[in-house]
Structure formats: structure tokens, C-alpha cells
Structure 1
């Protein structure tokens, strides 16, 4: 499970870099438009996941700004990692 989370975070980081690179140096054709739309959707969804993270884990774990940033950047992969931490603590 841990390897899957690491691989997922690396892929997510690559996609973020690709979408941000597209903002400063747009790719040719419709690819640039699609990447801009995907960036907007990604920002919205990861923001929503950060709100979910706050409501679920705020009482279970001491959270720092770094934790919120990780959830915003890596989305569901960070949520699964924090879920694993909570399950480990409850044993």
C-alpha cells in the first residue's frame, strides 16, 4: 500500500508540473485548453478534498499547515496516508 501511495504522489506531482508549465508556456492546439480546464477542475477537487480532510481528521490528528498543503497537492493519496495513520493509532 505504501508503494502505491508513493507512486501516486509522484504521478500527481508530475501532472501538477505539466499543468502549471502549460500556464506559462502553452502547448500547441487544443491540448493547452484541455490542460487549463483540467487545472481548474484539479484545484477545485483538491480544495474540496482539503475541506473533507479538515472535517474528518481535525479531531483525530494534530494538523499543521504542511498537512493541509500535502492534501491539496496530492489529494486522495494523502487522504489515504492520513487514514492509515489514524488506523495505526487506534490499534
Structure 2
């Protein structure tokens, strides 16, 4: 399971790099627009996920700013790493 989480987090870094690179070096044609939309969608979904975690587990789970940032970047894969603190 640890290898899966490490692989998934590395994949998320690649995805973020692709999405953010489009801001500085736009892809040709309509791919530019698609990547802007995907970036907005990923940011929106990860913010919603982070707000849900704060809302649902604020008493049980005290997140540091670093952990909150990692949840924003890696999403559910970081949550799998810290799920033992909830149980």
C-alpha cells in the first residue's frame, strides 16, 4: 500500500506540473483551454475536499498547515496516510 501511495503522489506532482506549466508555456490549439479548465477543476475539487475534512473532523483531527497543504496538493492520497490518526 505504501508503494501505491508513493506512486500516486508522484503522479499527482506530474499532473500539477503539467497543469501549471500551461500557465507559463501554453499548449497549442484548444489544448490550452482544456488544461485551464482542468486546472480550475482540480483546484476546486481539492479545496472542497480540504474544507470537508476541516468541517467533518475538526475536533478529532488537528491538521498542521503543512498537512493541509499536502492534502490540497495530493488529495485523498495524503488522507490515506493520516487516516490512522482518526481511528
* TM-score (norm: length of structure 1): 0.86
> Is residue 2:33 matched to residue 1:33?
yes
**Structure with the larger RCO, 1 or 2 (CA within 8 Å, 6+ apart):** 2
Task: Extract unaligned runs of 5+ from structure 2.
Answer: none
Q: Residue 69 of structure 2 corresponds to which residue in structure 1?
A: 69
Q: How does 1:7-26 map to 2 (within 5 A)?
A: 7-26=7-26
- Aligned counterparts of 1:20 and 1:39: Cα–Cα separation in 2: 7
Task: Extract unaligned runs of 5+ from structure 1.
Answer: none
Once the two structures are superposed, residues 26-59 of structure 1 have per-residue CA deviations (whole angstroms, 9 ceiling, x without a partner) of: 0111111111100000000000111122123332
Please give the secondary structure, in 1, of the residue aligned with 2:41. Answer: helix
Q: How many residues align?
A: 87
- Aligned counterparts of 2:53 and 2:82: Cα–Cα separation in 1: 9
Please give the secondary structure, in 1, of the residue aligned with 2:13. Answer: helix
Which runs of structure 1 show a deviation greater than 4 angstroms over 4 or more consecutive aligned residues?
none
* TM-score (norm: length of structure 2): 0.89
